[in-house]
Structure 1
């Protein structure tokens, strides 16, 4: 009921449609309105066409017309003022099918051309000189000076820059300048050392253990060799110093001596080795956290810190020991003429490294985009080194500086042509990472980083090209190698090094001591590391005072600038492709083969144990759980491919949703059931620890051999947690909650 507009006390009844439906049997027209069709309703009578009402209606109509006209004018005016690309700018070609997104994209061939115009061999010699230093150990004055040079360059390029400080505990040599050992009456004082070794003095018998790999130690155990309380003598190579020491500690060894691989005798008999033996990442005294501003933690240390002594010795020192060893011959499988040593081959080793706290400064620069500007591609290189570190740090830093300049100039040139619209998605982090600090101070970005590209040791030779990467990036790597020309001869890098079989000839595992490994296995960021090399092993002079420009020139035939230029283009193509396409260049189906292979191995081993020793495993254990989890991931990855194929890629929100699903894959392979402090590398497929599928396979083998550390109940628990980790990744990849596949 409402009062009449004329001001009298009469009332008007206004019925809702539902009331009217009830009165008319549902046809929506009130029956009482049809009793007298010639009679106007009371409202029409009172609000009829009086002069006053007609005036009101005319004014209202005029106002509506004026408002509509103003709106149309303003919309047209806004279009006139919108930024457009000038006529002299690069004109868009027809966009290829894979170049998708709501915003227009610069043709990819023109992006490649712009990069090629920026990167030049002639620029590298001067950059090498600028970032070379005979001594720039982490936390030193020279290290800080190099950091300041990087910041200056970033600012010259117009990048947003900043630094962050860490206070990290590291070990220095003893106050005397060296540790010592005594063997057969002769005392030696090697000046090389291994940071994070345990300290103390021991006297025990030497045991020659080849490379100190797990398979080497299993072979010794199979020959009934006692390893408890022995000082293991091992070669460099194949695995990191930290892994050698950790393997020896598992077997009960009291210490480890590491010497240069004699097959690389060109290193020289007196060359000292430097390194560290922390089986983890970052400051081991703040495990799982960055060392910001003297942050106080309860007294705790990383589980990766060794509890036994570790020391490097020269090749001459090692040969002197090996010549005097007695005992049994080394296993034939090693192809080594050495003796293993016996109880009479005692050595006294003293390690007294000094623990100190040093300020570490990481340097950052950003090229910021407009679309998805909260997402990042991170490129990093090591800045410090044990000695000159020309191959270890100078080349990588120089490549990164040149890459930052090249991309910054590309963006600047495009802006001058009023074509920011074509580069709007770019947001790139350039970071100069310290080896000791671990480079993980910005792990809060793990939820927003597309990928990490590592440039450490990017040039050590020219005979081979090796790439270690997350399987998600294998397709990107292959397309990049096909597009970048070789510095050695005509043709692409792919045709020269891959020879149509990238998996066998180019790809290699991402090792624990690779700087990209923590980004992948700790923080779940798809990562890639690549290198031009002379052979399949590590560069001979890493971690020595011989890592100089002269040595690298000898290893590359004097082609260091050419190889650095090629490395810049490889990294540039990968990062630009990731930020150019609106849909991430990552293939989630690449993990299907890896999971299937691991599941198959475990399945065969479970069947073998159940067939031969069924009492070792619970009767309720079934492989159906793990097989179903694999099936869920396989179907979810196929569904994502179908969703991409069937989606409207002009919808920017759709692109972002699909990218979110892609980005969850690597993160969700990090086991949520283990502590990052105890098991930092939580990736169940590529990580390290008892939670991984590879460790499950090893645990089954231990059960089969009735190893004292084998535990059937623990295996069953780890088996279930690994299964649910895969299933959780599949659920997240599936997208919508109604798309989840929960057969388990």
Structure 2
């Protein structure tokens, strides 16, 4: 895999905006299809779905206004971001908006704020660059002089609450022409209130009054950071009015699916998938990842031309409409669920390949930990001054997992990207890798220009990865995982590591429950049955007939077909996004959410009964997983 080729791919696919459902995104899909065929894949197809998407109304733009006591608009928020240099003549740049926002013109006197101003009738999100408070970011100039967000920049996004449902009008089923559709009023996860993002140059005009927030809520801008209610004394008579006219409509999207047929086990699939659609240019999200996929396909094609063929089938996917709720990947998973549950070995996600300039970041299921460590020991660090140092050593030095083991940190999978349906709904082993920031000194949730017009090719080339060696290292990790999973005679999935991780997760959730010792006694709550089950996994190890199908189906064994409470499409009993932070992965999510809800329950006995029920479900599921590893009778 060559860094100059990754650079070429990234430049090629970031020249124009390519929002899901637009003509340009279709053109890129066709270009990817054609080039994958030229690279030598056995087959490539474009797979369409008709899903609900959401766009600003061009004739009635969205904006926030400040209204005086006479009803006059005395300030209006910007209708667009200032376009970066070199892109002034580019058309079809969608302005900042919150996809699927309800329409409306609510007026409010009061609101509360963190980085989200929430009111009884609407929400407007502003990017206030809290990160400038923290060390590194305080010294970084706004783009184009640096990689920070300009004051006119704002973060696009969707405001759905899908919980894994896929297309809001066809939850659980592929959005094909024969599929029954809910009405727009009955769609899953659609918000009832207007929402809109604004930049901090606009937000400062709101003149918030009220209380001073805690110190850890404050940034380093020259403002008071008050959190309401109301406005400062000179502006108490003002109101804030939202003018939101976003339109939702069923639109055709296209996934691109390429395949290399396996030589010996063609009915076993290893999948590398990442999305193609972007809010604007997508320099980082997603095209840094799409460029890595493209280079992986090119490299695979070169191997094919020399006579190589993998043992198992490799599937490459360019997903559409990820930014609108993971729609393309979820629809394809629904469309092929039966086949995937029977045949899929693993899914490696290929969203943004870089979000910082410090070290590797890996999130994956425990059965992939050993493979990731072994692979990164064979890859060279991309960092200047670390010639001859392995990626593993560099990663270990910069992000050591000191609390659990002397090894680089690997995180749990949460949500927010295309692995969700494959891992959390279908139970397919999954992982993701990318280059990331120094979490100790760069304490912001995402890179500053996330989902803004400033996510360009140039910000990657100038700041994040001038040599493209970091993206090359990520390509080697993602591609290496795919090739090893597809070509190893014995699947490199580690059941021992899974069992060890389960014990640690059980210990953590038990410690959390012990914060309520009296209630646990009163309501007779015990984690004993869960601990016994882990011992069963340990005792079964010496009896395990290490066969590929048993290893492949281990992840499936943690799937509860009934799903988590209130989230029927989140079915993984061990891992799921937290109900309270959908980007963060949570172990034993059913138990965790039940414990969390105790604090807010009007009926403690009922709440503790739910904890006991979730413990029993977890114990049953882990026991079922242990049984999958025993020799057949």
For the aligned pair, the TM-score class normalised by the smaller chain equals 0.7 to 0.9
Cα distance in 1, alignment partners of residues 188 and 495 from structure 2: 32
Equivalent residue for 1:411, pick from 304, 307, 313: 304
Unaligned runs of 5+ in 1: 1-118, 213-230, 234-252, 416-422, 645-657, 738-744
**What's 1:531 paired with?**
434
Residues 342-351 or 463-472, more deviating:
342-351
Give, in angstroms, the shift of residue 431 of structure 1: 0.9
Deviations 1:21-80 (A, max 9, x none): xxxxxxxxxxxxxxxxxxxxxxxxxxxxxxxxxxxxxxxxxxxxxxxxxxxxxxxxxxxx
Give, in angstroms, the shift of residue 661 of structure 1: 1.1
Equivalent residue for 2:180, pick from 293, 296, 305: 296
- Pairing of 1:489-504 with structure 2 (within 5 A): 489-490=386-387, 491-499=389-397, 503=401
**Structure 1 residue 630 corresponds to structure 2 residue 512:** no
**Structure 1 residue 680 corresponds to structure 2 residue 569:** yes
Residues 693-702 or 548-557, more deviating:
693-702
Deviations 1:108-140 (A, max 9, x none): xxxxxxxxxxx2334334333433332111111
**Structure 1 residue 430 corresponds to structure 2 residue 347:** no
Equivalent residue for 1:508, pick from 411, 415, 423: 411
- By relative contact order (CA 8 Å, sep 6+), the higher-ranking structure is 2
**What's 2:506 paired with?**
599
Cα distance in 1, alignment partners of residues 506 and 459 from structure 2: 45
Deviations 1:233-285 (A, max 9, x none): 8xxxxxxxxxxxxxxxxxxx543322224225631111132111223343122
Higher-Rg structure is: 1
- Pairing of 1:113-152 with structure 2 (within 5 A): 119-152=1-34
**What's 1:554 paired with?**
462
Give, in angstroms, the shift of residue 698 of structure 1: 4.3
Instruction: Tell me if the contact between 1:288 and 1:677 (Cα under 8 Å) persists in the aligned partners.
Output: no
* Structure 1 counterpart SS, 2:285: helix
**What's 1:188 paired with?**
76
Give, in angstroms, the shift of residue 184 of structure 1: 5.5
* Structure 2 counterpart SS, 1:313: strand
Cα distance in 1, alignment partners of residues 595 and 356 from structure 2: 41
Give, in angstroms, the shift of residue 610 of structure 1: 4.9
1:535/1:318 CA distance change after superposition, 3 Å: farther
* Structure 2 counterpart SS, 1:306: coil
Instruction: Tell me if the contact between 1:592 and 1:633 (Cα under 8 Å) persists in the aligned partners.
Output: yes
Instruction: Tell me if the contact between 2:20 and 2:277 (Cα under 8 Å) persists in the aligned partners.
Output: yes
- Pairing of 1:74-89 with structure 2 (within 5 A): none
* Count of matched residue positions in the alignment of Structure 1 and Structure 2: 554
Cα distance in 2, alignment partners of residues 205 and 728 from structure 1: 55
* Structure 1 counterpart SS, 2:562: coil
* Structure 1 counterpart SS, 2:228: coil
Give, in angstroms, the shift of residue 166 of structure 1: 0.4
Give, in angstroms, the shift of residue 383 of structure 1: 1.1
Give, in angstroms, the shift of residue 634 of structure 1: 3.6
TM norm structure 2? 0.80
**Structure 1 residue 354 corresponds to structure 2 residue 240:** no
**Structure 1 residue 517 corresponds to structure 2 residue 517:** no
Give, in angstroms, the shift of residue 432 of structure 1: 0.6
Cα distance in 2, alignment partners of residues 198 and 516 from structure 1: 28
**What's 1:711 paired with?**
607
- Pairing of 1:239-258 with structure 2 (within 5 A): 254-258=121-125
Cα distance in 1, alignment partners of residues 103 and 461 from structure 2: 39
Cα distance in 2, alignment partners of residues 394 and 604 from structure 1: 41
Equivalent residue for 1:583, pick from 490, 493, 496: 490
What is the RMSD of the two structures over their aligned residues, measured on CA atoms?
3.0
- Pairing of 1:714-725 with structure 2 (within 5 A): 714-725=610-621
* Structure 2 counterpart SS, 1:355: strand
* Structure 1 counterpart SS, 2:401: helix
Residues 533-542 or 128-137, more deviating:
533-542
Whose helix proportion is higher, 1 or 2? 1
Give, in angstroms, the shift of residue 638 of structure 1: 5.6
**Structure 1 residue 470 corresponds to structure 2 residue 470:** no
1:547/1:200 CA distance change after superposition, 3 Å: same
**What's 2:329 paired with?**
439
* Structure 1 counterpart SS, 2:212: coil
**Structure 1 residue 727 corresponds to structure 2 residue 623:** yes
**What's 1:203 paired with?**
107
Cα distance in 2, alignment partners of residues 735 and 210 from structure 1: 54
* Structure 2 counterpart SS, 1:289: coil
Cα distance in 1, alignment partners of residues 188 and 566 from structure 2: 7
Instruction: Tell me if the contact between 1:178 and 1:192 (Cα under 8 Å) persists in the aligned partners.
Output: no
1:127/1:700 CA distance change after superposition, 3 Å: closer
**What's 1:660 paired with?**
549
Equivalent residue for 1:278, pick from 138, 145, 160: 160
1:349/1:292 CA distance change after superposition, 3 Å: same
- Pairing of 1:95-106 with structure 2 (within 5 A): none
Deviations 1:324-367 (A, max 9, x none): 22222212443555222015675332433101111111111111
Cα distance in 2, alignment partners of residues 179 and 676 from structure 1: 36
**Structure 1 residue 736 corresponds to structure 2 residue 632:** yes
Equivalent residue for 2:228, pick from 315, 332, 341: 341
Give, in angstroms, the shift of residue 575 of structure 1: 1.4
TM norm structure 1? 0.68
1:601/1:468 CA distance change after superposition, 3 Å: closer
Give, in angstroms, the shift of residue 205 of structure 1: 4.7
**Structure 1 residue 267 corresponds to structure 2 residue 163:** no
Cα distance in 2, alignment partners of residues 705 and 395 from structure 1: 42
* Structure 2 counterpart SS, 1:723: helix
